[in-house]
């Protein structure tokens, strides 16, 4: 695409891009084109093995740039790590039970939220490790949490069948989202922050208005527990994965069912969109992953080769590669368009349940039941 012509086109529909910004936007578009054009045959090598915790890990997460990552554990702590050196920066202590759900407030990364089986969520300073707030109110374990992109709210989902929204500044509960009849195990804000979805063992996903806490839609159709649910980037679609072996696509505005993505012959354990929202990846207990075109709803690639269930799947930021984590003790890197396996990341001695890319897509972290985290460059 001619960058200058494209920016002219964008300017017609976007009053915020005035003449004075034009050159800068052209520069950004060209940089994006360069990035997309880079030929990639990056091989990942093991950089460091972190004996992260004395008890099993529950989750790992990067900050946006990938300079730091965090690990949660059954040892009741969350640890903050420096990615470049593999050094432990600090330990966040204070929970009375398993630290299960963890997150940075990306894109900022100056705060960390931890959700625990002790029924509380804590908010911490990334820099100092100070605990700003302890959010109390759930009557059972917290198993999922998420910040909105605006970094004003944190949402927690619990085994008590409710989700709660908390004000980060004031440290107070804003609203309780009640309506599910079984535990909530997945939740996700949309990009604009005005909607949140909750996925439950009651086989449904609910869409809520963040401002009022009202339930707008119930996405009904799955015949098994929900395992994951996510908005695409422009907030127009919702994808849901279920123990019923299917993945469903929904219109986010109306809550209507668009398509059912079939093909797996066992539970779907994870689903995700690429950043552009053009592709959907599914991970299944049948040991395979699949890639679907979000527009045509067709399966475009089958990722076959793992010797055990795949619990996590994610796209690299560019969207051309897919990373999977499996109970066969390996993580694999795949070509998203062809389904070819590009690389097998070996070395863990027990199942891998967590994997993530940094923002640039040139570092991978894997978290395993062997109590270690591995950094791959």
Q: What is the mean pLDDT of the chain?
A: 95
The number of angstroms, rounded, from the C-alpha of 169 to the middle of its chain's C-alpha atoms is 24
Span 19-33, average pLDDT: 91
| Domains parsed from the chain with CATH numbers | 228-346 (2.130.10.10)
Q: pLDDT tens digits, residue range 279-291? A: 999 999 999 999 9
- The whole-number pLDDT of residue 248 equals 98
- What is the pLDDT at residue 39? 72
Residues, the chain: 377
pLDDT at 1 over 90: no
| Interval 56-100: pLDDT, tens | 899 999 999 999 999 999 999 999 999 999 999 999 999 999 999
Of the listed ranges 39-43, 318-322, 336-340, the least confidently predicted one is 39-43
| Residue 130 pLDDT level (bands cut at 50, 70, 90) | very high
Kindly tell me if the per-residue pLDDT of 18 is higher than 90: no
Please write the tens of the pLDDT for every residue from 235-276: 999 999 999 999 999 999 999 999 999 999 999 999 999 998
Mean pLDDT, range 158-187, rounded to an integer: 97
The pLDDT assigned to 17 comes to: 87
Comparing 16-20, 25-29, 230-234, 325-329, the range with the smallest average pLDDT is 16-20
pLDDT for 104: 98
């Amino acid at each position: 695409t001619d960058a200058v012509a494209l920016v002219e086109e964008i300017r017609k529909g976007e009053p915020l891009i005035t003449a004075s910004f034009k050159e800068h936007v052209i520069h950004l578009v060209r940089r994006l084109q360069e990035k997309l054009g880079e030929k990639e045959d990056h091989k990942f090598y093991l950089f460091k093995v972190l004996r992260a915790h004395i008890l099993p890990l529950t989750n790992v997460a990067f900050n946006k740039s990938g300079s730091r990552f965090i690990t949660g554990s059954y040892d009741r702590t969350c640890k903050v790590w420096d990615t470049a050196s593999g050094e432990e920066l600090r330990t966040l202590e204070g929970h009375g039970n398993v630290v299960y759900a963890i997150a940075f407030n990306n894109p900022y990364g100056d705060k960390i939220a931890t959700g625990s089986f002790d029924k509380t969520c804590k908010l911490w300073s990334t820099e100092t490790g100070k605990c700003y707030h302890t959010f109390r109110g759930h009557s059972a374990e917290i198993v999922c949490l998420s910040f909105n992109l605006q970094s004003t709210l944190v949402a927690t989902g619990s085994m008590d069948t409710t989700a709660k929204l908390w004000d980060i500044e004031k440290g107070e509960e804003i609203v309780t989202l009640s309506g599910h009849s079984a535990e909530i195990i997945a939740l996700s804000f949309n990009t604009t922050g005005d909607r949140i979805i909750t996925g439950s063992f009651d086989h449904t996903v609910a869409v809520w208005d963040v401002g009022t806490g009202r339930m707008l839609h119930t996405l009904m159709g799955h015949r098994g527990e929900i395992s994951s649910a996510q908005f695409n980037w422009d907030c127009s679609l919702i994808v849901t994965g279920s123990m019923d072996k299917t993945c469903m696509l929904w219109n986010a505005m109306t809550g209507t069912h668009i398509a059912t993505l079939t093909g797996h012959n066992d539970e779907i354990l994870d689903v995700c969109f690429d950043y552009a929202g053009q592709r959907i990846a599914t991970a299944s207990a049948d040991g395979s992953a699949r890639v679907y075109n979000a527009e045509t709803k067709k399966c475009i690639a089958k990722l076959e080769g793992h010797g055990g269930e795949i619990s996590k799947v994610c796209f690299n930021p560019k969207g051309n590669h897919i990373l999977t984590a499996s109970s066969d003790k390996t993580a694999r890197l795949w070509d998203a368009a062809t389904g070819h396996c590009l690389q097998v990341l070996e070395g863990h001695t027990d199942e891998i349940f967590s994997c993530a890319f940094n923002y640039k897509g040139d570092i991978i972290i894997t978290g395993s039941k062997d109590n270690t985290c591995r950094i791959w460059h």
